[in-house]
Amino acid sequence: METVIEHRRGIGGMAIHSDGGLVISGRNVAVKGLVGSDDTATHVLKENDPTNGIVGYNDLTVDAHGRLYVGSLAFVASESRDVDKPGQLFCIDLDGSARVVADDVLLTNGLGFSPDGSLLYHADTLRSTVFVYDVRDDGSLGPKRPFVQTSDDGHPDGLAVDVAGNVLVALPHTGLVGCFDASGYRTASIQIDVPMVTSLTFGGDDMRDLYIVSGSEGLDTDRGAGVFKARVETPGLAIPPCQVAV
């Protein structure tokens, strides 16, 4: 195991930047570890703004143009569930400007584009729903509509999309990753031996390794969170590098 980024607590999401380094969300959205820069240098793309209801940022993803999409938090999720303070979904354009592309998100989580980039999936955990938006050419979004409601399995968290357009969703407290086809029909589940499934991503040379992140909730005190790997039949979509100017 190797430490890539030090001194960064409360990470919500990560993506590779085209200039090297990682885009990381949490208390802000920032790029760290750019090639040719001091490893400790932080290039902030978007600050938090508590006076306007933004205390931090959670999951993020990148479209085929290199634009960054990230959800904001109006409360500290580990401390509160203040549903009177919904968050927003931002698009950070290539020139570094940010705009709101969706709002009224109670607890923003997983984000992922369909294979052709025409749809954006977005988990709103406190609504027990993965929503889907149509994506316009300029990166703005159409009205959201329900894609999958997970009430029977709890609340959706992180998600990932494969090359066939299936949406894989982490279902905390269940030990399950649900696999839903493009119509929203559940076709399969992946079970791990701990309950708190929180996030997932594809990797490996053939993109058929599914990495599943777990939390420590529900485990003995001497057993912490972990990362599991499952082999899947359908390769996952690679997330493009972020090309936002720094």
Query: What is the spatial distance between Cα 222 and Cα 216, in angstroms, rounded to a whole number?
Result: 10
Instruction: Give residue 97's Cα distance to chain centre.
Output: 20
- Give average pLDDT by consecutive 10-residue segment, the chain, 246 residues: 69 93 94 72 92 95 99 79 81 98 97 99 97 98 98 92 98 95 97 93 98 80 79 98 96
The verdict on whether residue 109 carries a ligand-binding annotation is: yes
pLDDT at 20: 87
pLDDT at 85: 81
The verdict on whether residue 52 carries a ligand-binding annotation is: no
pLDDT at 39: 61
For this structure, is 19 an active site residue? no
Residue reference for tokens 């040379």: 205
- 124, 153, 157, 162: the catalytic one is 157
pLDDT at 86: 93
Query: What is the spatial distance between Cα 156 and Cα 167, in angstroms, rounded to a whole number?
Result: 12
pLDDT at 42: 87
Predicted structure pTM score: 0.93
DSSP 127-196: GTEEEEEEBPTTS-B---EEEEE-GGG-----EEEBTTS-EEEEETTTTEEEEE-TTS-EEEEEE-SSS-
The verdict on whether residue 58 carries a ligand-binding annotation is: yes
**Full set of structural domains in the chain with CATH:** 14-231 (2.120.10.30)
Residue reference for tokens 């006076």: 51
pLDDT tens figures, 194-242: 899 999 999 999 999 999 999 877 666 556 688 999 999 999 999 999 9
